[in-house]
Amino acid sequence: MEATLPITKTVTPTSAYTDPRTVRSPKEHWMLIDVLDNRGEGEHSIAIGEWDGNRVLAIRWNGNAGELGNPQSRGIPTWFVLPSEYNTKLVETLPENKQIIAKALLGV
């Protein structure tokens, strides 16, 4: 009997890190409103968006050159939605102009 290996998807990395403004998955649940803080390659980003119609904060690690960052699902970059009890403290860490936007949209 011959053994077979499972077929896996090969992801070809790009030359740049994953720009958080391009991360729009999972499309059935997530809608990006604004990237509030983008620390760039090898760092994290914080965004405000809507998850199933509710405004939320989300975070992700952007990745280094040629990487998708984290989180990802089946080779597609995604956001990690944070529990709302973290909203006030996290918003306080943002640049002042982004704090104004986040406070207005989240009602904090």
Give the per-residue pLDDT at 2.
Answer: 53
For the chain, the average pLDDT equals 87
Q: What digits encode the pLDDT tens for the residues 57-75?
A: 999 999 998 889 999 999 9
The percent of residues in the chain predicted with pLDDT above 70, rounded, is 86
What are the residue ranges spanned by the domains of the chain?
A: 20-106
Name the band, by pLDDT with cuts 50, 70 and 90, for residue 10.
very low
Give the per-residue pLDDT at 3.
Answer: 54
pTM above threshold 0.95: no
Give the per-residue pLDDT at 4.
Answer: 53
Is the pLDDT at 31 greater than 90, yes or no? yes
Name the band, by pLDDT with cuts 50, 70 and 90, for residue 1.
low
35: tokens are 């990237």
Ordered DSSP codes for the chain: ----PPP-PPP---SS---GGG---STTTEEEEEEEEE--TTSEEEEEEEETTEEEEEEEE--STT---BSEETTEE--EEPPGGGHHHHHTTS-HHHHHHHHHHHT-
